[in-house]
Structure 1
Protein backbone atom coordinates (compact mmCIF):
# COMPACT_ATOMS: atom_id res chain seq x y z
CA UNK A 1 0.00 0.00 0.00
CA UNK A 2 1.55 3.30 -1.05
CA UNK A 3 1.48 6.27 1.25
CA UNK A 4 -0.72 9.05 -0.09
CA UNK A 5 -1.04 11.99 2.27
CA UNK A 6 -1.66 15.68 2.43
CA UNK A 7 2.07 16.35 2.52
CA UNK A 8 2.65 14.98 -0.97
CA UNK A 9 -0.40 16.75 -2.28
CA UNK A 10 0.93 20.06 -0.95
CA UNK A 11 4.29 19.27 -2.54
CA UNK A 12 2.69 18.74 -5.92
CA UNK A 13 0.71 21.97 -5.64
CA UNK A 14 3.65 24.09 -4.61
CA UNK A 15 6.16 22.43 -6.90
CA UNK A 16 9.91 22.22 -6.36
CA UNK A 17 10.41 25.89 -7.16
CA UNK A 18 7.84 26.96 -4.59
CA UNK A 19 9.30 24.70 -1.92
CA UNK A 20 12.82 25.96 -2.59
CA UNK A 21 11.54 29.54 -2.36
CA UNK A 22 9.94 28.74 0.99
CA UNK A 23 13.21 27.28 2.28
CA UNK A 24 15.28 30.25 1.09
CA UNK A 25 12.81 32.82 2.46
CA UNK A 26 12.64 31.05 5.81
CA UNK A 27 16.43 30.78 6.03
CA UNK A 28 16.75 34.52 5.35
CA UNK A 29 14.11 35.14 8.01
CA UNK A 30 16.08 33.04 10.50
CA UNK A 31 19.28 35.02 9.87
CA UNK A 32 17.35 38.28 10.16
CA UNK A 33 15.70 37.16 13.40
CA UNK A 34 19.06 36.14 14.85
CA UNK A 35 20.52 39.56 14.00
CA UNK A 36 17.55 41.41 15.52
CA UNK A 37 17.74 39.24 18.65
CA UNK A 38 21.45 39.98 19.06
CA UNK A 39 20.86 43.73 18.69
CA UNK A 40 17.92 43.65 21.08
CA UNK A 41 19.77 41.75 23.79
CA UNK A 42 23.18 43.44 23.45
CA UNK A 43 22.08 47.03 22.86
CA UNK A 44 18.52 47.56 24.09
CA UNK A 45 18.92 45.41 27.20
CA UNK A 46 22.64 45.22 27.89
CA UNK A 47 23.73 48.78 27.14
CA UNK A 48 20.47 50.75 27.46
CA UNK A 49 18.47 48.95 30.13
CA UNK A 50 15.04 50.51 30.75
CA UNK A 51 11.97 49.24 32.57
CA UNK A 52 8.31 50.24 32.69
CA UNK A 53 7.17 50.43 36.31
CA UNK A 54 4.00 51.49 38.07
CA UNK A 55 4.27 54.55 40.33
CA UNK A 56 1.82 55.53 43.06
CA UNK A 57 1.47 59.18 44.07
CA UNK A 58 -0.62 60.76 46.84
CA UNK A 59 -3.08 63.35 45.61
CA UNK A 60 -1.19 66.10 47.42
CA UNK A 61 1.60 65.64 44.91
CA UNK A 62 -0.80 66.08 41.94
CA UNK A 63 -3.36 68.72 42.99
CA UNK A 64 -4.51 69.08 39.37
CA UNK A 65 -6.11 65.63 39.46
CA UNK A 66 -9.67 65.03 40.52
CA UNK A 67 -9.73 64.12 44.20
CA UNK A 68 -11.95 61.07 43.88
CA UNK A 69 -9.26 58.81 45.30
CA UNK A 70 -6.44 59.16 47.76
CA UNK A 71 -3.80 57.76 45.41
CA UNK A 72 -3.20 58.13 41.69
CA UNK A 73 -1.20 55.65 39.61
CA UNK A 74 0.94 56.13 36.52
CA UNK A 75 3.42 54.12 34.47
CA UNK A 76 6.90 55.54 33.97
CA UNK A 77 9.99 54.38 32.09
CA UNK A 78 12.75 53.81 34.63
CA UNK A 79 16.35 53.97 33.36
CA UNK A 80 18.92 52.93 36.01
CA UNK A 81 22.23 54.76 36.06
CA UNK A 82 24.06 51.47 36.61
CA UNK A 83 22.10 48.45 35.33
CA UNK A 84 21.94 45.49 37.69
CA UNK A 85 23.79 42.52 36.16
CA UNK A 86 21.31 39.93 37.40
CA UNK A 87 18.34 41.93 36.13
CA UNK A 88 19.98 42.31 32.72
CA UNK A 89 20.69 38.58 32.59
CA UNK A 90 17.12 37.59 33.48
CA UNK A 91 15.60 39.97 30.94
CA UNK A 92 18.05 38.81 28.28
CA UNK A 93 17.09 35.18 28.85
CA UNK A 94 13.38 36.04 28.86
CA UNK A 95 13.51 38.09 25.67
CA UNK A 96 16.00 35.78 23.97
CA UNK A 97 13.79 32.75 24.57
CA UNK A 98 10.96 34.42 22.63
CA UNK A 99 13.24 34.84 19.63
CA UNK A 100 14.48 31.25 20.07
CA UNK A 101 11.01 29.74 19.86
CA UNK A 102 10.33 31.76 16.71
CA UNK A 103 13.52 30.46 15.14
CA UNK A 104 12.56 26.92 16.16
CA UNK A 105 9.28 27.38 14.27
CA UNK A 106 11.26 28.54 11.24
CA UNK A 107 13.44 25.43 11.39
CA UNK A 108 10.27 23.35 11.51
CA UNK A 109 9.05 25.00 8.31
CA UNK A 110 12.35 24.22 6.59
CA UNK A 111 12.14 20.61 7.76
CA UNK A 112 8.64 20.21 6.33
CA UNK A 113 9.66 21.77 3.01
CA UNK A 114 12.69 19.49 2.74
CA UNK A 115 10.54 16.45 3.44
CA UNK A 116 8.21 17.49 0.62
CA UNK A 117 11.15 18.03 -1.73
CA UNK A 118 12.34 14.51 -0.95
CA UNK A 119 8.79 13.24 -1.46
CA UNK A 120 8.72 11.86 2.04
CA UNK A 121 5.62 11.47 4.18
CA UNK A 122 5.19 13.28 7.48
CA UNK A 123 5.90 10.53 10.01
CA UNK A 124 7.09 10.03 13.56
CA UNK A 125 10.09 12.34 13.11
CA UNK A 126 7.85 15.23 12.13
CA UNK A 127 5.53 14.51 15.04
CA UNK A 128 8.49 14.57 17.44
CA UNK A 129 9.69 17.90 16.06
CA UNK A 130 6.20 19.34 16.45
CA UNK A 131 6.17 18.09 20.02
CA UNK A 132 9.49 19.79 20.73
CA UNK A 133 8.18 23.03 19.22
CA UNK A 134 5.00 22.78 21.31
CA UNK A 135 7.02 22.20 24.49
CA UNK A 136 9.20 25.20 23.68
CA UNK A 137 6.16 27.42 23.13
CA UNK A 138 4.59 26.34 26.42
CA UNK A 139 7.82 26.86 28.34
CA UNK A 140 8.46 30.31 26.88
CA UNK A 141 4.84 31.40 27.41
CA UNK A 142 5.16 30.63 31.12
CA UNK A 143 8.80 31.26 32.02
CA UNK A 144 9.65 34.30 29.88
CA UNK A 145 7.09 36.72 31.45
CA UNK A 146 8.12 35.58 34.93
CA UNK A 147 11.80 36.23 34.19
CA UNK A 148 11.03 39.67 32.78
CA UNK A 149 8.91 40.59 35.81
CA UNK A 150 11.63 39.40 38.18
CA UNK A 151 14.20 41.44 36.24
CA UNK A 152 12.21 44.64 36.77
CA UNK A 153 11.82 43.89 40.48
CA UNK A 154 15.57 43.33 40.86
CA UNK A 155 16.37 46.53 38.93
CA UNK A 156 14.07 48.56 41.20
CA UNK A 157 15.61 46.99 44.31
CA UNK A 158 19.18 47.57 43.07
CA UNK A 159 18.41 51.25 42.38
CA UNK A 160 17.08 51.70 45.92
CA UNK A 161 13.72 53.07 44.81
CA UNK A 162 11.00 53.15 47.49
CA UNK A 163 8.52 50.31 47.06
CA UNK A 164 6.07 51.35 49.80
CA UNK A 165 4.75 54.67 51.14
CA UNK A 166 6.78 56.41 53.79
CA UNK A 167 5.38 56.96 57.29
CA UNK A 168 6.34 60.44 58.51
CA UNK A 169 6.00 61.32 62.17
CA UNK A 170 3.74 64.30 61.51
CA UNK A 171 1.30 64.76 58.66
CA UNK A 172 0.74 62.53 55.65
CA UNK A 173 3.35 61.28 53.23
CA UNK A 174 3.68 63.25 50.01
CA UNK A 175 6.31 60.98 48.42
CA UNK A 176 5.71 58.68 45.50
CA UNK A 177 6.69 55.03 45.53
CA UNK A 178 7.24 52.32 42.95
CA UNK A 179 5.14 49.17 42.61
CA UNK A 180 7.39 46.61 40.88
CA UNK A 181 5.74 43.69 39.07
CA UNK A 182 5.70 40.27 40.68
CA UNK A 183 5.81 36.98 38.76
CA UNK A 184 2.20 35.79 38.50
CA UNK A 185 0.20 33.43 36.31
CA UNK A 186 -1.84 36.37 35.00
CA UNK A 187 1.31 37.58 33.27
CA UNK A 188 1.64 34.45 31.13
CA UNK A 189 1.68 34.89 27.36
CA UNK A 190 -1.71 33.27 26.77
CA UNK A 191 -1.61 33.65 22.98
CA UNK A 192 1.66 31.73 22.78
CA UNK A 193 0.34 29.29 25.38
CA UNK A 194 -2.72 28.54 23.25
CA UNK A 195 -0.56 28.15 20.14
CA UNK A 196 1.65 25.69 22.02
CA UNK A 197 -1.36 23.63 23.07
CA UNK A 198 -2.67 23.49 19.49
CA UNK A 199 0.77 22.52 18.18
CA UNK A 200 1.00 19.80 20.82
CA UNK A 201 -2.35 18.35 19.76
CA UNK A 202 -1.19 18.38 16.13
CA UNK A 203 1.92 16.46 17.17
CA UNK A 204 -0.15 13.81 18.96
CA UNK A 205 -2.58 13.45 16.07
CA UNK A 206 0.20 13.18 13.49
CA UNK A 207 2.00 10.56 15.56
CA UNK A 208 -1.20 8.56 15.96
CA UNK A 209 -1.95 8.82 12.24
CA UNK A 210 1.56 7.61 11.35
CA UNK A 211 1.19 4.59 13.63
CA UNK A 212 -2.20 3.71 12.18
CA UNK A 213 -0.82 3.94 8.65
CA UNK A 214 2.15 1.71 9.51
CA UNK A 215 -0.16 -0.81 11.14
CA UNK A 216 -2.43 -0.81 8.08
CA UNK A 217 0.53 -1.44 5.79
CA UNK A 218 1.66 -4.30 8.00
CA UNK A 219 -1.68 -6.07 7.55
CA UNK A 220 -1.36 -6.13 3.77
Structure 2
Protein backbone atom coordinates (compact mmCIF):
# COMPACT_ATOMS: atom_id res chain seq x y z
CA UNK A 1 0.00 0.00 0.00
CA UNK A 2 1.27 3.49 -0.85
CA UNK A 3 2.43 5.53 2.12
CA UNK A 4 0.24 8.62 1.72
CA UNK A 5 2.85 10.72 3.51
CA UNK A 6 5.19 10.41 0.52
CA UNK A 7 4.11 11.18 -3.03
CA UNK A 8 5.07 8.53 -5.55
CA UNK A 9 5.61 11.18 -8.21
CA UNK A 10 8.09 12.94 -5.91
CA UNK A 11 9.96 9.69 -5.37
CA UNK A 12 10.12 8.92 -9.09
CA UNK A 13 12.54 11.79 -9.67
CA UNK A 14 11.72 12.05 -13.37
CA UNK A 15 11.52 15.28 -15.32
CA UNK A 16 8.44 17.40 -14.73
CA UNK A 17 5.97 17.59 -17.61
CA UNK A 18 5.15 21.07 -18.92
CA UNK A 19 1.53 22.13 -18.55
CA UNK A 20 1.73 25.33 -20.58
CA UNK A 21 -1.12 24.01 -22.74
CA UNK A 22 -3.62 24.41 -19.88
CA UNK A 23 -3.91 28.18 -20.36
CA UNK A 24 -5.17 27.68 -23.91
CA UNK A 25 -8.20 25.66 -22.76
CA UNK A 26 -10.02 28.82 -21.77
CA UNK A 27 -9.81 30.01 -25.39
CA UNK A 28 -12.21 27.17 -26.18
CA UNK A 29 -14.42 28.07 -23.17
CA UNK A 30 -13.17 25.03 -21.28
CA UNK A 31 -12.73 25.81 -17.57
CA UNK A 32 -12.19 22.31 -16.24
CA UNK A 33 -12.37 20.35 -13.04
CA UNK A 34 -10.03 17.35 -13.07
CA UNK A 35 -9.72 14.57 -10.49
CA UNK A 36 -7.15 11.80 -10.09
CA UNK A 37 -8.32 8.81 -8.02
CA UNK A 38 -6.19 5.96 -6.71
CA UNK A 39 -7.67 2.71 -5.43
CA UNK A 40 -11.07 2.94 -7.17
CA UNK A 41 -12.03 1.44 -10.54
CA UNK A 42 -13.53 3.43 -13.39
CA UNK A 43 -17.04 1.98 -13.08
CA UNK A 44 -17.11 2.64 -9.35
CA UNK A 45 -15.95 6.20 -9.93
CA UNK A 46 -18.90 6.69 -12.28
CA UNK A 47 -21.28 5.33 -9.65
CA UNK A 48 -19.87 7.56 -6.91
CA UNK A 49 -20.39 10.56 -9.16
CA UNK A 50 -24.03 9.60 -9.55
CA UNK A 51 -23.69 8.14 -13.04
CA UNK A 52 -24.59 4.76 -14.54
CA UNK A 53 -21.59 2.96 -16.09
CA UNK A 54 -23.70 1.12 -18.66
CA UNK A 55 -24.97 4.46 -19.95
CA UNK A 56 -21.49 5.91 -20.61
CA UNK A 57 -20.80 7.00 -24.19
CA UNK A 58 -17.58 8.16 -25.90
CA UNK A 59 -17.45 11.95 -26.02
CA UNK A 60 -14.74 14.58 -26.27
CA UNK A 61 -14.52 17.41 -23.76
CA UNK A 62 -15.55 20.02 -26.40
CA UNK A 63 -18.57 17.87 -27.30
CA UNK A 64 -19.49 17.57 -23.62
CA UNK A 65 -19.25 21.34 -23.28
CA UNK A 66 -21.73 21.82 -26.11
CA UNK A 67 -24.20 19.31 -24.68
CA UNK A 68 -24.08 20.30 -21.00
CA UNK A 69 -27.05 22.29 -19.72
CA UNK A 70 -28.48 23.48 -16.39
CA UNK A 71 -30.14 20.12 -15.66
CA UNK A 72 -27.13 17.81 -15.80
CA UNK A 73 -23.36 17.59 -16.07
CA UNK A 74 -21.31 15.39 -18.39
CA UNK A 75 -18.16 13.89 -16.87
CA UNK A 76 -15.51 11.99 -18.80
CA UNK A 77 -13.88 9.12 -16.93
CA UNK A 78 -10.79 7.08 -17.80
CA UNK A 79 -7.73 5.33 -16.41
CA UNK A 80 -4.04 6.10 -16.87
CA UNK A 81 -1.04 4.47 -15.17
CA UNK A 82 -3.31 2.71 -12.68
CA UNK A 83 -5.04 5.97 -11.71
CA UNK A 84 -8.67 6.69 -12.54
CA UNK A 85 -9.39 10.23 -13.64
CA UNK A 86 -12.35 12.48 -14.34
CA UNK A 87 -12.58 15.52 -16.61
CA UNK A 88 -15.36 18.10 -16.57
CA UNK A 89 -15.43 20.76 -19.28
CA UNK A 90 -17.03 23.47 -17.19
CA UNK A 91 -18.86 21.85 -14.26
CA UNK A 92 -17.43 21.23 -10.80
CA UNK A 93 -18.88 18.04 -9.35
CA UNK A 94 -15.44 16.68 -8.42
CA UNK A 95 -14.71 19.88 -6.48
CA UNK A 96 -17.57 19.40 -4.01
CA UNK A 97 -15.97 18.42 -0.66
CA UNK A 98 -18.35 15.51 -0.09
CA UNK A 99 -17.72 14.15 -3.58
CA UNK A 100 -13.94 14.39 -3.16
CA UNK A 101 -14.22 12.47 0.12
CA UNK A 102 -16.49 9.86 -1.44
CA UNK A 103 -14.17 9.35 -4.43
CA UNK A 104 -11.28 8.79 -2.01
CA UNK A 105 -12.93 6.00 0.00
CA UNK A 106 -10.58 3.03 -0.12
CA UNK A 107 -7.83 5.14 -1.66
CA UNK A 108 -7.02 8.76 -2.46
CA UNK A 109 -8.42 11.60 -4.58
CA UNK A 110 -6.72 14.79 -5.75
CA UNK A 111 -8.85 17.25 -7.70
CA UNK A 112 -8.42 20.72 -9.15
CA UNK A 113 -11.08 23.21 -10.19
CA UNK A 114 -10.22 26.06 -12.53
CA UNK A 115 -12.35 29.19 -12.30
CA UNK A 116 -12.82 31.80 -15.00
CA UNK A 117 -12.67 34.51 -12.33
CA UNK A 118 -9.39 33.24 -10.90
CA UNK A 119 -10.80 31.42 -7.87
CA UNK A 120 -9.06 28.13 -8.72
CA UNK A 121 -9.13 25.54 -5.94
CA UNK A 122 -7.32 22.32 -5.03
CA UNK A 123 -8.69 19.41 -3.01
CA UNK A 124 -7.18 16.23 -1.59
CA UNK A 125 -8.78 13.45 0.42
CA UNK A 126 -7.52 10.15 1.80
CA UNK A 127 -9.90 7.25 2.48
CA UNK A 128 -12.88 9.51 3.08
CA UNK A 129 -11.05 12.24 5.03
CA UNK A 130 -10.63 15.70 3.55
CA UNK A 131 -6.97 16.73 3.90
CA UNK A 132 -6.71 19.83 1.65
CA UNK A 133 -9.38 22.22 0.41
CA UNK A 134 -8.34 25.72 -0.57
CA UNK A 135 -7.85 28.27 -3.29
CA UNK A 136 -4.28 27.57 -4.25
CA UNK A 137 -2.14 30.67 -3.98
CA UNK A 138 1.37 30.14 -2.70
CA UNK A 139 2.15 26.96 -0.77
CA UNK A 140 -0.79 24.55 -0.57
CA UNK A 141 -1.42 23.62 3.07
CA UNK A 142 -3.46 20.95 4.81
CA UNK A 143 -6.66 21.77 6.69
CA UNK A 144 -5.15 20.40 9.90
CA UNK A 145 -1.73 21.71 10.95
CA UNK A 146 1.09 19.24 10.32
CA UNK A 147 -1.21 16.59 8.86
CA UNK A 148 1.18 13.70 8.01
CA UNK A 149 -0.86 12.93 4.91
CA UNK A 150 0.26 16.21 3.29
CA UNK A 151 3.79 17.46 2.62
CA UNK A 152 4.23 21.13 1.75
CA UNK A 153 7.60 20.23 0.21
CA UNK A 154 5.62 18.82 -2.70
CA UNK A 155 5.15 22.48 -3.72
CA UNK A 156 8.90 23.17 -3.84
CA UNK A 157 10.10 24.41 -7.21
CA UNK A 158 6.55 24.74 -8.54
CA UNK A 159 5.56 27.97 -6.81
CA UNK A 160 7.29 30.74 -4.89
CA UNK A 161 7.40 29.24 -1.41
CA UNK A 162 7.86 32.70 0.14
CA UNK A 163 4.99 34.42 -1.69
CA UNK A 164 1.52 33.54 -0.33
CA UNK A 165 -0.10 35.22 -3.34
CA UNK A 166 1.85 33.41 -6.05
CA UNK A 167 -0.46 31.88 -8.68
CA UNK A 168 -0.16 28.26 -9.81
CA UNK A 169 -2.07 28.22 -13.10
CA UNK A 170 -1.54 24.97 -15.02
CA UNK A 171 1.43 24.15 -12.81
CA UNK A 172 -1.03 22.79 -10.28
CA UNK A 173 -1.05 19.65 -12.46
CA UNK A 174 2.65 19.24 -11.67
CA UNK A 175 1.66 19.15 -8.01
CA UNK A 176 -0.96 16.53 -8.86
CA UNK A 177 1.81 14.43 -10.40
CA UNK A 178 3.92 14.64 -7.28
CA UNK A 179 1.02 13.67 -5.05
CA UNK A 180 -0.61 11.00 -7.20
CA UNK A 181 2.24 9.75 -9.41
CA UNK A 182 0.48 10.31 -12.74
CA UNK A 183 0.48 13.18 -15.24
CA UNK A 184 -2.70 14.86 -16.41
CA UNK A 185 -2.61 14.35 -20.17
CA UNK A 186 -3.48 16.91 -22.83
CA UNK A 187 -5.09 14.09 -24.82
CA UNK A 188 -7.81 13.81 -22.16
CA UNK A 189 -9.15 17.12 -23.47
CA UNK A 190 -8.92 16.09 -27.14
CA UNK A 191 -9.77 12.37 -27.44
CA UNK A 192 -13.13 10.77 -26.61
CA UNK A 193 -13.60 9.67 -23.00
CA UNK A 194 -16.31 7.38 -21.66
CA UNK A 195 -18.72 10.01 -20.43
CA UNK A 196 -21.57 9.76 -17.97
CA UNK A 197 -24.49 12.06 -17.39
CA UNK A 198 -24.99 13.07 -13.76
CA UNK A 199 -27.29 15.54 -11.99
CA UNK A 200 -25.78 19.01 -11.84
CA UNK A 201 -23.43 19.83 -8.96
CA UNK A 202 -25.99 22.38 -7.78
CA UNK A 203 -27.81 19.47 -6.11
CA UNK A 204 -25.22 19.58 -3.34
CA UNK A 205 -25.92 23.20 -2.37
CA UNK A 206 -26.98 23.65 1.26
CA UNK A 207 -26.24 19.99 2.09
CA UNK A 208 -23.60 18.34 4.32
CA UNK A 209 -21.63 17.62 1.12
CA UNK A 210 -20.28 21.16 1.45
CA UNK A 211 -19.13 20.74 5.04
CA UNK A 212 -15.39 21.41 5.37
CA UNK A 213 -13.61 20.42 8.61
TM-score per shorter chain, which class? under 0.3
Q: TM-score, normalised by structure 1?
A: 0.20
Bigger RCO (CA 8 Å, 6+ sep):
2
Q: TM-score, normalised by structure 2?
A: 0.21
